[in-house]
A = this chain, B = another copy of it.
């Protein structure tokens, strides 16, 4: 439950309590099924259900018109994993391997040879210029349609090195249920990710049910031209928006044009959009997926000496009223079960 909602509950407690009791707290199952079945009964699950109930029940003091029911989700680490590499970085490595035979000049390029030898993390850390060079080698100099085909082919053939499944099978089952719940109650979910918009749009609809127009990500320059009287869009490279950290509220403004009321993230890169969603804005809801599950997934985010991905946002969470999900304790399963395989 967000800070703002909690404060409001105290203020309007009685009316709301009556309303919620009459409405059948916690949420009458729609089709006889409990919502969020992959979530343990926990404060995080209750907070999600209460927020949805309060904002979509006519007569509730927190009722929101459907047009205002905008929810934003980070992708990597929030809707699917980002270990051992963000999946788009794995796509870069796999594409470099697939294409190196056609590019003898890459042998002279230390960043590409390092990435090919497996040290893509080292390359990405060596500075934005080196990472950009890897991106341009695999994401630019082709039409949008050609790029889409490459991503599609990769998704159809690549398998995750740890979980041995197609990447598109690795969405977090509990988060898919949050998406379904929100859609059922008239919310419009958007992805707001540092990942490439063009990369995500190829699979976001089939994996999450989120259409291209609701996928906001980083993007580079694109050029329109008529080629032999056929219109094409060419990916030129460069970066026009880095949709991360302070860039996330900017992307939200640019694409959606109104403030969201619910925000789901997992790292300090999501802190600005959590702030933009929840501070002095009621009703609003913020949630952080905390990677605590070294057995079923990874525990990597909150150690400043480790990846240090989730430090300031976790520290701010109690003050801001953001819900923190403990993956190990709060989720019954992490991934969608595969037939015959043990659940994890």
Return the contact of A250 from the options B197, B201, B215, B233 (Cβ within 8 A). B233
CB-based contact B222/A250 at 8 Å:
yes
Given contacts A224-B276, A226-B275, contact A219 B254 (CB under 8 A): yes
Q: Cβ of A225: which chain B residues have Cβ within 8 Å of it?
A: 246
Which of A7-15, A33-41, A255-263, A296-304 participates in binding chain B? A255-263
CB distance from A285 to the nearest CB of B (A): 16
The docked-state distance in angstroms from the alpha carbon of A322 to that of B71 is 39
CB-based contact B222/A254 at 8 Å:
yes
CB-based contact B250/A212 at 8 Å:
no
CB distance from A4 to the nearest CB of B (A): 13
CB distance from A22 to the nearest CB of B (A): 32
The docked-state distance in angstroms from the alpha carbon of A257 to that of B211 is 9
Query: Is A105 an interface residue, CB under 8 A from the partner?
Result: no
Query: Is A344 an interface residue, CB under 8 A from the partner?
Result: no
Query: Is A231 an interface residue, CB under 8 A from the partner?
Result: yes
The docked-state distance in angstroms from the alpha carbon of A230 to that of B212 is 31
CB-based contact B257/A215 at 8 Å:
yes
Given contacts A229-B279, A240-B240, A249-B231, contact A256 B224 (CB under 8 A): no
Q: Which residue of B lies closest to A280 (CB)?
A: B230
Q: Which residue of B lies closest to A70 (CB)?
A: B213
CB-based contact A253/B144 at 8 Å:
yes
CB-based contact B213/A272 at 8 Å:
no
CB distance from A221 to the nearest CB of B (A): 8
Q: Cβ of A213: which chain B residues have Cβ within 8 Å of it?
A: 213, 255-258
Query: Is A67 an interface residue, CB under 8 A from the partner?
Result: yes
The docked-state distance in angstroms from the alpha carbon of A211 to that of B230 is 32
What count of chain A residues pass the 8 Å CB interface test?
36
Query: Is A165 an interface residue, CB under 8 A from the partner?
Result: no
Given contacts A213-B256, A256-B213, contact A223 B197 (CB under 8 A): no
CB-based contact A211/B67 at 8 Å:
yes
CB-based contact B224/A250 at 8 Å:
yes
- Find residues 246-291 in chain A having any chain B CB closer than 8 Å to their own CB: 246-250, 253-258, 272, 275-276, 279-280
Q: Cβ of A254: which chain B residues have Cβ within 8 Å of it?
A: 197, 219, 222
CB distance from A2 to the nearest CB of B (A): 15
- A-B residue pairs in contact (CB < 8 Å), sample of 9: A67-B211, A212-B257, A219-B254, A222-B254, A226-B275, A230-B280, A233-B249, A240-B241, A255-B255
CB-based contact B280/A212 at 8 Å:
no
CB-based contact A257/B197 at 8 Å:
yes
CB distance from A312 to the nearest CB of B (A): 12
Q: Cβ of A256: which chain B residues have Cβ within 8 Å of it?
A: 212-213
